[in-house]
Amino acid sequence: MSHSTVVKPGVYMRHEPADPKVPVLVDVSRSGREYPHDFRSPIPFTVLHDNVSMYVEELCGAAPDLGATLLYACFPNTYVDTNRSAADIDERLIDGKWPGPIEQSDFTERGLGLIKRLSRYGEDMQERKLTVAEVQARLDDYHEPYHQELARILAKIRAAHGRAYQVSCHCMSAVGAPTHADPGQDRADFNLGDVHGTTCSPEFIEFATKTLEDLGHSVSVNFPYYGGYLTRRHSDPTNQVESLFVEINKRMFIDTKSFKRTDGFPAVKASMDRLIEAICEYAVK
């Protein structure tokens, strides 16, 4: 089997599915490590880089060979976060008055909105306020092009198959950070989210949960993460577009001091291979 890759430099890479194609899109939106030239932050790079969901595109790398499309955002979520809406503006970060609507999420007050005010451990992420033009450029050049491509792929899949499944993959810290919903708590191997029953059918999230549990993993559902804008924006379960949010625990495959893969990486990759394969099989039933 073979597949091709389409690149929008600095913004995304799309890995086309091999035949036979299945109605699945694996979305890796917060693992990018190409820092744009105007990215600046006063915090040490080791702290900054720990906010990236590293290696998730590799853990999901089997998706195209299994017939699924893989979409990967090249830029870091600390530059602009695709899992927040364009209206999730923290006014404390804006030099001037934001001209558009402001609809803050439960992450905004914690400093984790569209543009990060704080790192996950509470350090100031920005060295200065950003102008309206700077924030708008990040939305126009990075955030919205990724979402438009994601929407285009899902629409194409649904048109071809009558249904589409979005699997939005991320990785999380082993223990809840101070700015998160579970500070100091140990986390499960995997956390799945459906934004509290709104982005996919109960059967789909239950199927994914059981698949991982059968592989020997612990799984939490909708806590500490329930999903977010990525799955809310693109899901439409009543019209056969189902979106599932997946968080993978870093403790299983990353040395967070060196950012290198650990010996556990192949086993986690095997679990993700099986999860994606199972979802591809589920999607064509």
Asked if residues 33 and 52 have their Cβ atoms less than 8 Å apart, the reply is yes
φ/ψ region of 242 (left if φ > 0, alpha if ψ in -120 to 50, else beta) reads beta
Q: Given CATH 2.40.100.10, say whether it is the number of domain 5-86+142-283.
A: no
Residue 123 contacts by C-beta under 8 Å, 6 or more apart in sequence?
43, 47
For residue 83, give the amino acid letter.
N
Instruction: Write out the two tokens for 199.
Output: 């982005």
Instruction: Write out the two tokens for 224.
Output: 């500490």
For residue 249, give the amino acid letter.
N
In the chain, where are the structural domains located?
A: 5-86+142-283
**pTM score, whole prediction:** 0.95
The pLDDT tens digits along the chain (285 residues) read 557 899 999 999 999 999 999 999 999 999 999 999 999 999 998 888 888 889 999 999 999 999 999 999 999 999 999 999 999 999 999 999 999 999 988 889 889 999 999 988 889 999 999 999 999 999 999 999 999 999 999 999 999 999 999 999 999 999 988 888 899 999 999 999 999 999 999 999 999 999 999 999 999 999 999 999 999 999 999 999 999 999 999 999 999 888 999 999 999 999 999 999 999 999 998
DSSP state of 142: I
CA distance 83 to 115: 11
CA distance 160 to 140: 29
Residue 240 is predicted with a pLDDT of 97
